[in-house]
């Protein structure tokens, strides 16, 4: 099927649709890691890969699995660069040679990035197999980065297996997936697998603070803490949130800035809700919901927050030392700690259970206010 170089170029155009030309450079792109050391939180993966790279002991196929937004394709691209870099330094790509730059732009012909979610069919993989047989250009290695590889069809996996059984020289496959359980065993057994993990609060917070400073933005503790909570361990989400607040706000970024930028509910509100519950004052609790609704807050987000609020109370009730697991500023943790005394563990268990069930209903409802 690929008997002319033109056919190959047609295919390349198809695959490179993923990289749009953007005049505005999003933070995530601007601060994309250029060496393995700069990848936050995945040292267990990057140190092994860099060592293998430095000793020229790379395997033909790698599977990078883990939650979304924690660096799988970033590491795949770094490795693709390291393999092809003209001035590779102890396993790290230089990031500045012509090859590294071309790979970063998505215009290096021997490094192909394929989104399996939109190229699921066997024909795509057959074309890829033909391309794999086709020698890469002089002195270069061909790398196929297949994102969301679990989305491939059964036929496509079979075609892929044929290539992996006898991988051509200087051809590498880096697969990324959020659902490794959906990948056939026959494929898994031919890959070296690395599991990526979500970032800890410290890792994510540290990275976000660094970037905010580099961008000339000031983030205070409360703003940073809330952003970190919202990102839930994903670097990609964290940087995209940071991008939005930096673009939309002037001056110091505080919890209030983040709350209003994303239409969130202030955490102090849950302290007030708890007061109403402790006082058995239903009218006060209902007025609180009404004030949220009339100021255009997301009731869905509030209902989700109610569940976390009871979870936080439960932790503090069990042991005040568990405060480290509560994502709130210290003064609010102190208030919650005082409130927790008014609940029994059974009460809190029941409240978590019920608010969890009701959150589901509110989330699906077309009348969230009434449900709430």
CA distance 99 to 147: 22
Which of positions 256-315 make contact with Zn ion (CB under 5 A)? Answer: none
**Which one of 31-39, 59-67, 98-106, 190-198 is the stretch in contact with Zn ion (CB under 5 A)?**
98-106
Q: Which is nearer to Zn ion, 28 or 78 (CB)?
A: 78
Q: How far is the CB of 81 from Zn ion (least distance, A)?
A: 6
Nearer to Zn ion, 33 or 223 (CB): 33
Exposure string over 69-104, b if 16+ CB within 10 A, otherwise e = bbbbbbbbbbbbbbbbbeebeebbbbbebebbebbb
* Residue 151 touching Zn ion (CB under 5 A): no
Q: What is the smallest separation between the CB atom of 91 and Zn ion, expressed in angstroms? A: 12
Q: Considering CB under 5 A, how many residues would be counted as binding Zn ion?
A: 5
**Considering beta carbons, is residue 97 or 371 the nearer one to Zn ion?**
97
Buried b (16+ CB within 10 A) or exposed e, 328-362: bbeebbebbbebbeebeeeebeebbeebeebbeeb
Provide the minimum distance between the beta carbon of 85 and Zn ion in the complex, in angstroms, as a whole number: 3
Least distance between Zn ion and beta carbon 97 (Å): 3
- Nearest-approach distance from CB 38 to Zn ion, in angstroms: 15
Residue 38: how many other CB atoms lie within 10 Å? 15
* Dihedral (Cα; 99, 104, 108, 113), 10-degree rounding: 140
Which positions from 76 through 95 interact with Zn ion, judged by CB under 5 A? 85, 93-94
The least distance separating Zn ion from the CB of residue 211, rounded to whole angstroms, comes to 24
Q: Does 97 bind Zn ion (CB under 5 A)?
A: yes
Shortest gap between Cβ of 93 and Zn ion (angstroms)?
5
In the set 49, 82, 100, 241, which binds Zn ion (CB under 5 A)? 100
Burial class of residue 312 (count of CB atoms within 10 Å of its CB; 0-12, 13-18, 19+): buried
Give the residue with the Cβ less far from Zn ion, 113 or 237: 113
Report the residue number, 95 or 305, with the smaller CB distance to Zn ion.
95
Q: What is the CA radius of gyration of the chain?
A: 25
Residue 223 burial class via C-beta count within 10 angstroms: exposed 0-12, middle 13-18, buried 19 and up: buried
* Cβ distance to Zn ion smaller for residue 94 or 122: 94
* Closest CB 145 distance from Zn ion, rounded Å: 17
In the complex, the residues that contact Zn ion under the rule CB under 5 A are 85, 93-94, 97, 100
């Amino acid at each position: 099927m690929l008997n002319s170089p033109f056919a190959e170029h047609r295919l390349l155009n198809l695959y490179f649709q993923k990289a749009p030309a953007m005049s505005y450079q999003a933070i995530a792109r601007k601060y994309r890691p250029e060496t393995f050391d700069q990848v936050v939180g995945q040292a267990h993966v990057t140190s092994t890969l860099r060592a293998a790279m430095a000793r020229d002991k790379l395997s033909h196929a790698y599977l990078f699995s883990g939650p979304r937004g924690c660096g799988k394709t970033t590491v795949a691209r770094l490795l693709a660069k390291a393999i092809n870099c003209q001035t590779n330094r102890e396993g790290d790509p230089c990031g500045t040679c012509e090859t590294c730059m071309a790979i970063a732009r998505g215009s290096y012909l021997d490094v192909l990035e394929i989104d399996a979610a939109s190229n699921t069919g066997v024909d795509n993989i057959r074309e890829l197999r033909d391309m794999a047989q086709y020698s890469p250009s002089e002195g270069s290695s061909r790398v196929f980065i297949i994102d969301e590889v679990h989305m491939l069809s059964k036929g496509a996996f079979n075609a892929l297996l044929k290539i992996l059984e006898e991988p051509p020289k200087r051809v590498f496959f880096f697969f990324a997936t959020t659902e490794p359980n959906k990948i056939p065993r026959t494929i898994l057994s031919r890959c070296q697998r690395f599991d990526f993990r979500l970032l800890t609060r410290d890792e994510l917070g540290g990275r976000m603070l660094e970037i905010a400073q580099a961008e000339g933005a000031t983030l205070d503790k409360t703003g940073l803490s809330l952003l970190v909570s919202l990102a839930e361990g994903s670097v990609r989400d964290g940087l995209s949130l940071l991008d939005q607040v930096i673009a939309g706000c002037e001056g110091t970024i505080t919890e209030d800035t983040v709350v209003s930028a994303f239409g969130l509910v202030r955490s102090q509100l849950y302290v007030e809700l708890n007061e109403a519950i402790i006082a058995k004052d239903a009218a006060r609790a209902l007025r609180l919901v009404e004030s949220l609704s009339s100021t255009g807050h997301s009731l869905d987000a509030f209902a989700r927050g109610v569940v976390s609020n009871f979870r936080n109370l439960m932790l503090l009730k069990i042991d005040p030392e568990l405060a480290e697991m509560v994502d709130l500023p210290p003064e609010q943790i102190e208030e919650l700690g005082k409130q927790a005394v008014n609940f029994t563990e059974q009460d809190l268990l029941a409240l978590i259970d019920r608010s969890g069930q009701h959150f589901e209903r509110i989330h699906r409802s077309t009348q969230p206010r009434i449900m709430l």
